[in-house]
Amino acid sequence: METLVEVLEQEARIDFALNCKCRAIVRLKSLCATTPIAFKVQTSSPNKFLVNPPSGLVPPLAYATFQIILKPQTQFPPTFPRSPSDRFLIKTAEFTTNPSESTHPDSINSWFSTRPHGSTQDLKLKVAFVGPVLLRHAVGCGDVDSVRNLIKRQKSILTELSPREAESLLRVATELVNPEEIVNLLVEAGLKIEARVRLDNNASYPVESRWAAKGWDELHVAVAFDQTDEILSLIKSRGYGSLDCRDKEGRTPLHLAASKGSIWCAKLLVESGADMNARCKDGRTALHRAAANGDRLIVEMLIEFGADPAITNDRGQSPLDAARDKEHKEIVEILERGEVVLMAARRGELERLELLLQKGATMNYCDQYGLTALHAAAIKGHRDAVLMLVKFGLDLECKDNEGHAPLHLAVEGGSLETVEVLVDKGADVNAKTMKGVTPLYIARAMGYDDISEFLISRGASSSITSFSSS
């Protein structure tokens, strides 16, 4: 039996508050093109929940919604965010009946009661309690797992707090017997507060001292609190060579900015010369962290500035693998574009290549050998693809893992036309690989007399065609 309806939310997330009604809206999407779909919602906890409407119709290929209403509760949920005892069953079936029959929820409810056993499709919907009230409660209880899971399910929960609420939440955390883990979790997840808070002893206390055990320096702390002015001041006072300081986990300030989703801090660090491909102790780069978090803005920014998406961590995972594991489809698409550009260039698929580049696909992606799209097009002799990539701004002197520029590979591919295009656009005819190999050396070694003569006519030096074995 084909699926009739899909639930757009995998669980009903209810923003919890004490002593008042709390609601969640659930959206249903019909996958049937011809017939309305009837639905009926049942709950395992009728003493706690109301459903409005409890039944209804979803028009063909359209949407319908219903509300889940939590009755006022005088106590916090015993477990959260996920509530193992609270769940809903959504029964669905094609509404094949007399067109004149009432579609009132009561009538549809009665209609379901006449259906034979096993003739409906049933969907299960779980319940999760979220929101700042529960976050504050979990922080006050020192419940690290609940804090982490609340933040995971509701990524905006910290960034939407007012400055006063954020400072109050941090104060609750710092009053714990062992506050470090929760405080670090809140700050790294995006809690924005002032650089100083007032603790129990009423002494003005720098938050930075909390991070000494983590090995953070001033730049890490400034990033943790989204203090772009402070970051800029530190960069100017300490020089541009101090941006890649490491904490005890080997993380640079850029790693931290990517983990927190601080796009402005991350961009400021990158523009100031931070190493985008720096790896922490587990081998992850800033791009790994942004990809795992599903952070589109930071992923796109890092790719645009030339971060290497082919770097793998200690488990052999690339940023693309991390995004796939977390099912961040948008990030996977962004990172896969680079692979598609490389493939289109290698095959000389001009229309596809142009469409990808016009849509903003990254040209800086390289494979495990360091080959870019320009290298791939050059070695295959795809002159027009080379011309297009150069037109869109791909670096003529980009190097693969062995130091080959695209011109080296164009010569190796034996296409005089492709060689001419690269040289005419400004490629260095005397470029050297890591071993000192020049394009002219390759041309002579492979017996390409026409390419050799052309390179010499454009300034290639015969005196530097040999290479070292070191």
Look up the CATH number of the domain holding residue 305: 1.25.40.20
Domain span at 269: 230-327
Nearest C-alpha neighbor of 125 from the set 78, 75, 63, 83: 83
Regarding whether 116 and 149 lie in a shared domain, the answer is no
Number of Cβ atoms within 10 Å of the Cβ of 129? 25
Domain stops at, among 296, 327, 358 = 327
Q: Which of 209-218, 258-267, 274-283 has the lowest mean pLDDT?
A: 209-218
Are the C-beta atoms of 324 and 332 separated by less than 8 Å?
A: yes
148 is a domain residue? yes
270 and 193, same structural domain?
A: no
Asked if the peptide bond before residue 53 counts as cis, ω within 30 degrees of 0, the response is yes
Question: Quick check: is 39 in a domain?
Answer: yes
Number of compact structural domains in the chain = 4
Claim to verify: residue 387 and residue 444 sit in the same structural domain:
yes
The verdict on residue 334 lying in a domain is no
Contacts of 237 (CB under 8 A, 6+ apart): none
- pLDDT band at 453; cut points 50, 70, 90: very high
Backbone angles phi, psi at 358, to 5 degrees: -65, -30
146 in the same domain as 237: no
Q: For residue 147, which amino acid is it? A: V
With a cut of 80, say whether residue 190 has pLDDT above it. no
What's the one-letter identity of residue 111?
Answer: W
Can you name the residues that pair with 50 across neighbouring β-strands?
69
Which residues are registered as beta bridge partners of 67?
25, 52
Three-state DSSP class for residue 426:
coil
Q: Whole-angstrom Cα distance, residue 102 to residue 253?
A: 63
Q: What is the pLDDT of residue 196?
A: 40
Q: Which residues contact 205 (CB under 8 A, 6 or more apart)?
A: 196, 197, 198, 199
Give the sign of the dihedral formed by CA 423, CA 425, CA 427, CA 428. positive
Do 79 and 59 belong to one domain? Answer: yes
Residue 337 lies in a domain: no
Is a pLDDT exceeding 60 seen at residue 218? yes
- Whether 19 is covered by a domain: the verdict is yes
Q: Positive or negative CA dihedral for 309, 313, 318, 323?
A: negative
Residues 135 and 125 in one domain: no
| Residue 470 covered by a domain | no
**Are residues 59 and 107 both part of a single domain?**
yes
Is 375 among the domain residues?
A: yes
Q: Is residue 432 pLDDT above 90, yes or no?
A: yes
Beta strands in 301-362, from DSSP E residues, in sequence order: none
Q: Which residue among 94, 129, 164 closes a domain?
A: 129
pLDDT at 306 over 80: no
Q: Confirm if 86 and 69 have CB atoms less than 8 A apart.
A: no
3 state DSSP class of 28: strand
pLDDT of amino acid 154: 87
Kindly state the percentage of the chain with pLDDT values over 70. 90
In the predicted model, is pLDDT for residue 403 greater than 90? yes
Q: What pLDDT score was predicted for residue 101?
A: 58
If asked whether residues 122 and 196 sit together in one domain, one would say no
∠ CA(25), CA(44), CA(31), 5° rounding? 50
User: Under a CB-based contact definition with an 8 Å cutoff, are residues 374 and 394 in contact?
Assistant: yes
pLDDT band at 204 (very low <50, low <70, confident <90, very high): very low
**What is the rounded distance in angstroms from the CA atom of residue 295 to the CA atom of residue 298?**
6
Does residue 139 sit in the same domain as residue 113? no
Whether residue 403 lies inside any domain: the answer is yes
What's the confidence (pLDDT) of residue 100?
53
Question: Mean pLDDT over residues 107-127, rounded?
Answer: 84
* Boundary (domain end) residue, out of 214, 239, 272: 214
Asked if residue 190 lies in contact with residue 152, where contact means CB atoms within 8 angstroms, the answer is: no
d(Cα 151, Cα 139) in Å, to the nearest integer? 12
Distance CA 203, CA 19 (A): 36
